[in-house]
Amino acid sequence: MDLPFDDEQDFVDAQRGFLAALDDTLIEATDGRVVWDLGPYGDTSGDAPTTVNPSLWRQAQLNLIHGLFEVVPGIYQVRGLDISSMTMIEGDEGVIVIDPLVSCETAAAALALYRSVRGDRPVTALIYTHSHIDHFGGAGGVVPNGDPGDIPIVAPEHFLEHAVSENLQAGTAMSRRATYMYGTLLPRGPEGQMTCGLGPAPSNGTLSLLPPTIDITHTGQELVLDGVRIVFQMTPGTEAPAEMNFYFPDFRALCMAENATHNLHNVVTLRGALVRDAHAWAGFLDESIAMFAAGSDVSFASHHWPTWGTDNIVDYLSKQRDLYAYLNDQTLRYLNRGFTGTEIAEMIELPPTLASSWHCRGYYGSVSHNVKAVYQRYMGWFDGNPAHLWPHPPEEAAVRYVEFMGGAESVLEKAQQSFDDGDYRWVAEVVNHVVFADPSNMAARELLARTYTQMGYSQENATWRNFFLTGAQELRGIEVAGPAGQNALALMAHISVTQVFDAIAIRIDGMKAAGQRFAINWTIAETGERHLLRLENGVLSNAVNRHADDAVLSVTVPRSQLLLLVIGLVTLEAL
């Protein structure tokens, strides 16, 4: 469909209330590492180049608008200094900070920018909307010397558990995929990473995690922080396992956390996570409308720009609600008719009223991969086709496919013709087999890299673009690795002892350990907390508040040393 490029309202809203911007967006860590810099994106003021989808180019233009903005008198946002936005609410004695970005360095710069205009107000409270790192990682940068002292820190119930657990269980795999998804290693600009849809990119600075001191446990719960009244709405299992929206009645302002942003979000993220509940997500958005919309003059989130006007807010939130409900309901309709997730993803289109709304476009999530996520949530990985129940693994299948197709040379000859015809999806599918069958086949690698490049350039979805272009980069010999682990302690310092032992358990090589059988008693020195670790049948199990008489070893250890063990900075022998 033709998109309404003549609709400039988002640009008006994204620049509304502008007060100041950094003269130079280059932000460095104390060791000289570049934490943030919008400069490499260059000038995005003109029309889209041929290497960027025009719709994504428009979203990038909006995401790269940066500075301090007045939302309403007393509420201010710094946008464009990280993937997320930081919001300041002025109270009686100081300022409440909502979602202090990814890194301490960018959060400190955002607070300094605010203070340069509004005065040197102290931070009197912190609020985390949810348990993703781009909403709490920079907290140490907005409190004196990284120490919150008696500053209240508010978060949804179970925040701390979810903030660290994701990094423990599948963190290594997720971090590598995140490098693909966010285009971390790509050059910024029209031939590389053109933001990630939800914001420019995650910053690359120092992480922190200041634990909450106040848990929000139920919808309708109210707090007064620094004289500011706040009414909370719990939204667990939406965009994050622990998340909440909240309303400022004295400002007639609604914070939607990350539950309603100016794009289609992820029902499952490409970096990997548990599948989210699109049905519940829509339900919570409907509840937000019922509870708060009529009393709101502005709605803002921790990404993108606000929406002003009660009628506009109702329209915006209603379409966001219906966006997730539509994907959930239509996927279920088709799967109950016997279609698979892959098939449904090709069949579902958004109705025109949603598809023509810019904030429903798939810049971060996509209709395609969200439909597959809904299918996965209800039906699992298996599509019901017996041929897919016991397939060969990729390398073995690739060798057989290439042989059946007449050998690599024949496949590449035909694939080149398909490439010339612009059938890039098919080229990617068949040449991928050649690369898996023989990773040293440079002609195949280059053709696949060229194919991924063309697929990336055409994408409206920023994360798909980043995946394709990073894949092309890797095929050409640039190693793709997950982010460095120097920040691990900031998160791990707050995990429970049970989570530590769970993290150790997933590192056990079950077959190598299958013949071993022993128990170890553990006591945490500071608290006397007891744990029994037992290795048997290739499984390391943890029993809380138990010791065993037959243990081969009893260890009393400070909790800090146990954390160093799971991170890999000390060995068991050293303990």
Please list the residues that pair with 222 across neighbouring strands. 231
Q: Is 440 exposed, middle or buried (0-12, 13-18, 19+ CB in 10 A)?
A: exposed
End-to-end C-alpha distance for the chain, whole angstroms: 64
Q: pLDDT tens-digit profile of 319-374?
A: 999 999 999 999 999 999 999 999 999 999 999 999 999 999 999 999 999 999 99
Paired residues of 531 in beta bridges: 522, 544
The domain 495-574 having CATH identifier 3.40.50.720: the answer here is no
Q: Would the pLDDT of 544 be above 90? A: yes
Q: What integer pLDDT is reported at residue 166 of this predicted model?
A: 76
CB 453 within 8 A of CB 428: no
Q: How confident is the model at residue 487 (pLDDT cuts 50, 70, 90)?
A: low
pLDDT level of residue 488 (50, 70, 90 thresholds): low
- Give the model confidence (pLDDT) of 64-80 as tens digits: 999 999 999 999 999 99
Query: What H or E segment, with its residue span, contains residue 118?
Result: helix 104-118
8-329 architecture in CATH? 4-Layer Sandwich (3.60)
Helix (H) or strand (E) holding 124: strand 123-127
More confident residue, 175 or 414: 414
pLDDT reported for residue 564: 83
For residues 223 and 122, give the distance between their C-alpha atoms in angstroms, rounded to a whole number: 19
- HSE, CB side, 13 Å, CA atoms: give it for residue 451: 26
What residues contact 379, with CB distance under 8 A and at least 6 apart? 335, 341
> For the segment 374-422, what is each residue's pLDDT rounded down to a tens digit?
999 999 999 999 999 999 999 999 999 999 999 999 999 999 999 999 9
Give residue 115's pLDDT band: very low, low, confident or very high (50, 70, 90): very high
Q: State if pTM tops 0.75.
A: yes
The tokens of 243 are what? 């998340």
Q: Per-residue pLDDT averaged across 176-197, rounded?
A: 97
Rounded alpha-carbon distances, angstroms, from residue 178 to 28, 273, 430, 451, 465: 22, 11, 26, 22, 13
- Reported as a single tens digit per residue, the pLDDT across 123-132 is 999 999 999 9
Q: For residue 248, is it left (φ>0), alpha (ψ between -120 and 50) or beta? A: beta
Cα 305 to Cα 69: distance, rounded to the nearest angstrom: 10
Structure tokens that stand for 214 in this block? 């106040």
The least confident of 57-61, 341-345, 475-479 is 475-479
206-252 residue pLDDT tens: 999 999 999 999 999 999 999 999 999 999 999 999 999 999 999 99
**pLDDT band per the 50, 70, 90 thresholds, residue 482:** low
- DSSP code for 211: P
pLDDT recorded at residue 170 = 86
Q: Over the chain, what is the mean pLDDT?
A: 96
At residue 469 the predicted structure's pLDDT band, cuts being 50, 70 and 90, is very high
β-pair partners for 72: 75
Supply 68's token pair.
Answer: 């301090």
Residue 443 has pLDDT above 60, yes or no: yes
φ/ψ bin of 268: left (φ > 0), alpha (ψ from -120 to 50), beta (otherwise) = beta
Residue 171: count other Cβ atoms within 10 Å of its Cβ: 19
Q: What is the pLDDT of residue 570?
A: 77
What does the pLDDT look like over 545-574, one tens digit per residue?
999 999 999 999 999 888 887 777 777 667
**522-525, Cβ contacts within 8 angstroms, sequence gap of 24 or more:** 522/497, 522/554, 522/555, 522/556, 522/557, 522/562, 523/554, 523/555, 523/556, 523/557, 524/497, 524/556, 524/557, 524/558, 524/559, 524/562, 525/556, 525/557, 525/558, 525/559
**Mean pLDDT over residues 72-95, rounded?**
99
All structural domains of the chain with their residue ranges: 8-329, 391-458, 495-574
Please say if the pLDDT value at position 486 is more than 60: no
Do 8-329 and 495-574 fold alike per CATH? no
Instruction: Please report the pLDDT score of residue 263 as a whole number.
Output: 99
pLDDT value at residue 565: 79
Selection from 202, 342, 231 nearest residue 296 by Cα: 231
CATH number of the domain at 391-458, please?
Answer: 1.25.40.880
Which range, of 377-381, 442-446, 498-502, averages the lowest pLDDT?
A: 498-502
Tokens 């995946």 locate to 467
Q: What is d(CA 550, CA 529) in angstroms, rounded to the nearest whole number?
A: 19
What's the pLDDT score for residue 92? 98
Q: Is a pLDDT exceeding 60 seen at residue 484?
A: no
Place of tokens 């140490």: 140
User: Which pair of tokens denotes residue 440?
Assistant: 């040293």
Q: How confident is the model at residue 169 (pLDDT cuts 50, 70, 90)?
A: confident
